[in-house]
Amino acid sequence: MSGVDFFLQVAGKWTAALPLIEPFIIKSSVGCPVLVVSEQQLVAAIRAPSSTEFKQLLVLASAYLRGCETACSAFIATFEGEMLGHGGELTMAVLQPTYAV
């Protein structure tokens, strides 16, 4: 099962949501699919979603996180921003489920 299929299965959406997310998936440097969820264009190769698409991406991402929470999954998380922990602003988060923890 591919990473995208796994994401959709956990979100409970399966292939019905694939056409929505395909334009917003990019491959990482190691070939891992990454779903870009951002109101504005964050990655040069990925266009900004319309308002409706962005809302649908948020619903799908929330459904995925609820599915992971139900399965008691552990995540590797990394956060980027300006002065985090000192009243700064979070600009990006990357979450990846793992069995290593």
* pLDDT tens digits, one per residue of 50-66: 999 999 999 998 888 88
> What per-residue confidence (pLDDT) applies to 14?
67
Note the pTM of the prediction, 2 decimals.
0.76
Query: Is 47 inside any structural domain?
Result: yes
In the chain, the number of structural domains is 1
Task: Compute the CA torsion angle 4, 6, 8, 12 (nearest 10 deg).
Answer: 180
What integer is the mean pLDDT of 63-70? 84
Is residue 80 included in any domain, yes or no? no
For 4-35, the pLDDT digits (tens) are 888 888 888 767 788 889 999 988 888 888 88
For residue 55, tell me if it sits in a domain: yes
Give the domain extent around 65: 3-73
Structural domain contains residue 63:
yes
95 falls within a domain: no
Rounded distance between C-alpha atoms, residue 9 and residue 12, angstroms: 5
Instruction: Look at residue 96 and tell me if it is in a domain.
Output: no
